[in-house]
Structure 1
Amino acid sequence: MLFLGLLVVPAVNGQFPFEGGSGTEEDPYQIANVEQLQSIWRDLTAHYVLVDDIDASETETWNLDDEFIGEKLGIGMKMEFQTYHSPILSDSENVYVRWRDWSENGVWKEKPVDKNDYEINYETGKITFDESPDELYNIEDIDSVKIDYRTIDEHPRGFDPVGQTWRNRFKGSFHGRGNVIKNLYICRPDEENVGLFGYTGDGTEFRNVRIENAKVIGNGRVGILVGMNGGEVSKVFANGNVAGFVKTGLLLGRNCGSVSSSYSTGYVEGKNWGIGGLIGINSGDATVSNCYSTGNVSGRVDVGGLIGRMFRGGKVTNSYSIGEVTGGGLVGGKTSESEVSNSFWDVETSGAKTSAGGAGKTTREMKDIRTFTNVEWSMGLSKSWDFEEVWGINNVNPEQNNNGYPFLGWQDENHDLGDPAHFEIINFEVSLEIVESSESLVVSVEVKNVGDLGAVREVEFFVNGELEDSERVNLFGGENINLSFTT
């Protein structure tokens, strides 16, 4: 008997069903469609790279309407196949023989199989052919048999998380090259370690991955990218709706590795504790740096705009959140050995006045570059963020630039990092004022910040080369102010 899994497709390149590559770090397997994405489970230690955008909409029907492809056992032999999920709804199956037509450059062709030519056990999902389909249908070189069927599952379970246990964890690398995976669907409310990847070990690496409009449902350790992360995550964007019972976040369910230069948007809901806009649980030596979340978050205990709970150590630095949250503004809860520094949340948009870590700021302050660069001016800031290599901010065209909030320099080529602040006098008037026979010279000036970035500057008034007066002003990019000096 041959036991095969969901969406097993005929092998290419000799062994695995990918566009190309050999699975090494120098020559990773190339992934161009959702079937190949699912096939990563075949080698959990290999290296992978996306070579195209992937629309995973079809995963919303997987494991309810199953497409199962099995290899041919041999001409003249009795053929048996075991479907991946059962029981099967009676008379729901459709069976096809498949072959490549090399006269048409190897195009796959299919032909339906008569129901009288096989037997099916609807309880076990076992399908048996009494004769070889090659002989039954007089077709040479039949490569495989495809079976479409419906199970009695209440809901489609969708994409099967890659490497879902510690023993069966993913240990390789996955580079997106900026390509997008959209419309991923996973519905496994009774399972742990749920996400595109279920469980990843030490040394695993994710880079330049974009996942949009995902829907992910699980029980514990639930996230769009990874349920349980032990590796390195960098330059990853996760967007969608996520629901779990505990340890649930938009990007990661639980993090025991490192996350940098990544962000999330969408909505995450948890029934119990450890629910975060980016990460549900951050524990041990796990680090989070230069990250943010705009996602809305709801849960019962330890709920945070960025991280639900931090415990047994871990550090968060140079990060922020702005989403509405039913808990702590940035961090829902943490133990004393966990550290949060140089990080902020928006007290207005979040509706949260307190947090287990970080400093709360108004919306205006969150859109002001000084909050992240001026240590003397910004409470909670101990070291300036990097606005040359990592971050950008632009208040002149906020609708095109993250609504005026800081953004990561890599995240969107349409984002404009902005011109530095530069103050200019755009209007100048002098008048003579007489009060009780005393004459005063009044100088009125209009000062404008013609740059894109906000800044604080001293506007100084000199008379005959000597400083007469000054005023300290704060202007966003494009803003102006009227000042008056008297001598």
Structure 2
Amino acid sequence: MKKKKLISFVVSFMLILSAGTGSAYGETSSEQQSAAQTATFSDISGHWAENIIKEAASLKIVGGYMDGTYLPDNLIKREEFYKLLTNILTVTPDIANTKVNFTDVLDYEWYVPTIKIAVAAGITSGYEDGTFGIGLMISRQEAAKVAGSVIPGSDDDSAKGVETALDKGNIAAWAYPYVDLMFKKGYMKGDTEGNFRPTMALTRAEAAAILLNVKKNESVIAANAEELTLTGCSQVHSVTQGAFTKGEGTRNDPYQIATEEQLNHIRMHVTEGAFYILTKDIAITKDFVTAAPAIASGEDDWSAGNFQPIGSKAIPFKGCLDGDGHTISGLNITGTVGGSKGSGGSGKPAASYAGLFGYVGQGGSVEDLTINSSSITGNQYTGSIAGYTEGTIKNCRLGSKGTVNGSTNTGGIVGFSTATLTSLKNQGTVTGKSANTGGIAGAVNAPGTALISCQNEGTVNGNERTGGIVGSFASAAGESSVIKECYNKGTVNAGPYNAGGIAGAASGSNYSIQIESCGNSGTVTGSGVNGGIAGLLETSKATVTQSQNSGTVAGNGAGGIVGNNQGIISYCYNSGTVEANLDGGGIAAYQQNGMGKISKCYNEGKVTAKSFAGGITGENESKIDNSYNSGKINGTNYIGGIAGKNLGTITNVYGAGKVTGENGAGSLVGRNAAALSNSFWLDTTGTAGVGLSDGTASQQLVKKVTHEELSGQTRIKTSNGYELVVDVMNANNKTSADVINKTEPAAVWKYLYSVTSGSTGGNTVISDGGGIVAPIEVPSDDSTGNTIASEDLETKYLYPAIIL
């Protein structure tokens, strides 16, 4: 068996366990004693062991951390427990000539004097592989073995021993007599369900309670018995074949994970920051969660499944797992909250932080791993790879036979993330009962590039804030955030709230968030307000740019790019079908109350709504500029090529798509109650540019144009003479604040062909090559416009285009 070795940590994080021989900090004995006598820990108030810890500290059995905490619920390692034990010995052996030959003991570390005392006292001989077990968490049965080795036997025949424990059959033979002794002495006992739980790791609070009991009740605490040799990791932990046999846990030589037992064994090393690599596909065929916690314990119960999440909020996974392209299958992670009852009085609510990893801490990472043929079920924070992550998740996938079910913050890969998510893919089915459900992540609140190159091909079912990639996307405190180059091909089904092909909702309060270069070709449906990219852009700090939708978007309100837009949409286009009951738009369902702006966008898709249908937006109460529609717009009330209803400002737009409606249909606006300027509509698209105009409406240079005029074959007559439509719109842009401030270019529009002047010939045939080849430039001296051969009239290419 290869040795198990703890990754060395920076000395400043080591415990000041108590007064005694040696210190990691080189303090004097009197300084340590003073610290122990006056110890006041900042994190034990109200804890069940508060008074125990205080008394143990006053007796110099335990100490805390340099930051004033004790961390009572943290697990305690072998070397730490031995240190506390040596503090209560009534006889301390001479260690002057004691040699320590354990292969994992470094002669410069703080624990060397402790291990020398344990060796000299005969209370340890280590593992058969020559290691002491540095860094391994000590289990309840091992703690009983070590503590029971330094106290006399019991002469009380009436005292109840470990035979009263329901799970006594799980206690190892080497530990049984010592556990029995600790029961008879009253130093250890079972839980409220009658189980001893021998393989469960010991906490720092429990260690203080055990050793304080021994200290107060034993007059002689000295070891004379030879400790039985432990045989591998199975004696310390619950996994018989789980010990790592290859690798040292370093970056260059990671622990090699080849079996399901070794995968489960990672949980025993969550805080070490070690490195792991899968060397094979792993199928979970055994039940690694055989017992439920005590009803009154409040602990999460994972016994309904076959695997418990690795790492928790209290003790996050801080290691680095490289899946190396392998797949884990057969996971059944199903948790309930211990000690509580459901609303019906019987069932327990689901447990939180569900996933292969319950909680990945800062510095932790999971990469290049697939989970398939698995079921993950939880409450808050549920994902196949991680329920919650502060670390890096990269190149991971949930396969088509994988399912994730949760309540709040449910994602195909991650439930909630505060770090960058890179190149993740979901092909499974994700279902969230409450808020924030996404194909990749339920919610992301991360600085910088939060998600990049992620893709969803699976089905996402949610209620509030449901997205193909992420349910809820928000900026981290103090920093801007962006989603880049993500794509949804899957189906997104939502309840009566917001759903989007990329994000259900994107919210930027004090710092900007942006969705950039993303696309959707999947179907987005729900009874709320939905968008091909985002269901909701909340506040002016939220933007969508250079993104496109070709999928079907349907809802009570629906937009090809965004449902409810309170932010900025630019350089986006829609070619998909939009279907709505109220408020349907090729780009956005609606913009309300002066919030939101749509600029340099176009729609080619079909938009249908009973009321308020528009090629750009169903209702506009804000700003639209430099945009156009060439798609078919259909509906009943207030149907427009640009907006169904306008209560804001619209300028530099044109409508080239057929518009049909019964009450208020216009090739530009169905009902105009505000400002419309520099707007052009093709004469074959409808009978009027504006269906209905309120008395407060204003119109300036709103003009019907022919196919030849819109395509630039002929110029239109303006107050400046004969001008091309694109020149009129670009000239108008020169007066905008953005152009004056040089934040936007004046030249927004172009034809996909170009014409030069100075020819001596007559009218000249001009072609853009069907949009495939570069534009053809030829001269013309026609004073009224330019003529193009009819066979070259490709409407899609010859109408004004937006310069990207």
Q: Is the TM-score greater than 0.5?
A: yes
Q: How does 1:33-432 map to 2 (within 5 A)?
A: 33-35=454-456, 38=468, 40-46=470-476, 47-52=480-485, 54=487, 56-59=488-491, 162-163=504-505, 172-176=512-516, 179-188=517-526, 190-192=527-529, 194-220=531-557, 222-255=558-591, 256-271=595-610, 273-283=611-621, 286-311=622-647, 314-326=648-660, 327-335=665-673, 338-348=674-684, 350-356=685-691, 358-368=702-712, 371=715, 375-377=719-721, 384-386=728-730, 389-394=747-752, 418-426=753-761
Identity of aligned residues (%): 19
Alpha carbons 1:329, 1:360 under 8 Å: kept: no
- Per-residue deviation, 1:473: 4.2
- Per-residue deviation, 1:367: 0.7
**Residues 1:29 and 2:459 aligned together:** no
CA distance in 1, matches of 2:651, 2:584: 21
Q: Structure 1 residues 296, 449: closer, same or farther in 2, change over 3 A?
A: closer
- Structure with the bigger percentage of strand: 1
Q: Structure 1 residues 390, 454: closer, same or farther in 2, change over 3 A?
A: farther
Q: Which residue of 2 aligns with 1:18?
A: 421
- Per-residue deviation, 1:422: 2.0
Q: Secondary structure at the match of 1:319?
A: strand
Amino acid at match of 1:45: S
- Per-residue deviation, 1:30: 2.9
- Per-residue deviation, 1:258: 1.2
CA distance in 2, matches of 1:252, 1:170: 23
Q: Structure 1 residues 456, 320: closer, same or farther in 2, change over 3 A?
A: farther
Q: Secondary structure at the match of 1:163?
A: strand
Alpha carbons 1:449, 1:478 under 8 Å: kept: yes
- Per-residue deviation, 1:42: 4.7
- Per-residue deviation, 1:57: 2.3
Q: Structure 1 residues 287, 370: closer, same or farther in 2, change over 3 A?
A: farther
- Per-residue deviation, 1:447: 5.2
Q: How many corresponding residue pairs?
A: 314
Alpha carbons 1:318, 1:343 under 8 Å: kept: yes
C-alpha RMSD over aligned residues: 4.0
- Per-residue deviation, 1:325: 0.7
Q: Structure 1 residues 198, 169: closer, same or farther in 2, change over 3 A?
A: farther
CA distance in 1, matches of 2:549, 2:473: 25
Q: Structure 1 residues 218, 363: closer, same or farther in 2, change over 3 A?
A: same
Q: Secondary structure at the match of 1:365?
A: helix
- Per-residue deviation, 1:229: 0.9
Alpha carbons 2:532, 2:559 under 8 Å: kept: yes
Specify the structure having the higher radius of gyration (Cα): 2
Structure 2: gaps of 5 or more residues = 1-350, 353-378, 393-416, 424-443, 458-466, 692-698, 732-745, 768-775, 791-804
Q: Which residue of 2 aligns with 1:75?
A: none
- Per-residue deviation, 1:183: 1.2
- Per-residue deviation, 1:198: 2.3
Alpha carbons 1:266, 1:296 under 8 Å: kept: yes
Amino acid at match of 1:205: A
CA distance in 2, matches of 1:477, 1:454: 11
Alpha carbons 2:530, 2:553 under 8 Å: kept: no
Q: Structure 1 residues 4, 214: closer, same or farther in 2, change over 3 A?
A: farther
Q: Deviations over 1:382-410 (max 9, x none)?
A: 9822287211113xxxxxxxxxxxxxxxx
- Per-residue deviation, 1:185: 1.6
Q: Deviations over 1:262-321 (max 9, x none)?
A: 1111101112x21101110001xx11111111111101111001111012xx11111111
Q: Secondary structure at the match of 1:274?
A: strand
- Per-residue deviation, 1:250: 1.3
Q: Secondary structure at the match of 1:291?
A: strand
Q: Structure 1 residues 423, 171: closer, same or farther in 2, change over 3 A?
A: same
CA distance in 2, matches of 1:372, 1:473: 9
Q: Secondary structure at the match of 1:266?
A: coil
CA distance in 1, matches of 2:534, 2:728: 34
Amino acid at match of 2:524: I
Q: Which residue of 2 aligns with 1:474?
A: 785
CA distance in 1, matches of 2:578, 2:627: 19
Q: Structure 1 residues 16, 373: closer, same or farther in 2, change over 3 A?
A: farther
Amino acid at match of 2:541: T
Q: Structure 1 residues 224, 341: closer, same or farther in 2, change over 3 A?
A: same
CA distance in 2, matches of 1:159, 1:245: 19
- Per-residue deviation, 1:218: 0.4
CA distance in 2, matches of 1:244, 1:381: 32
| Bigger relative contact order (CA 8 A; separation at least 6) | 1
CA distance in 2, matches of 1:159, 1:234: 17
- Per-residue deviation, 1:372: 7.1
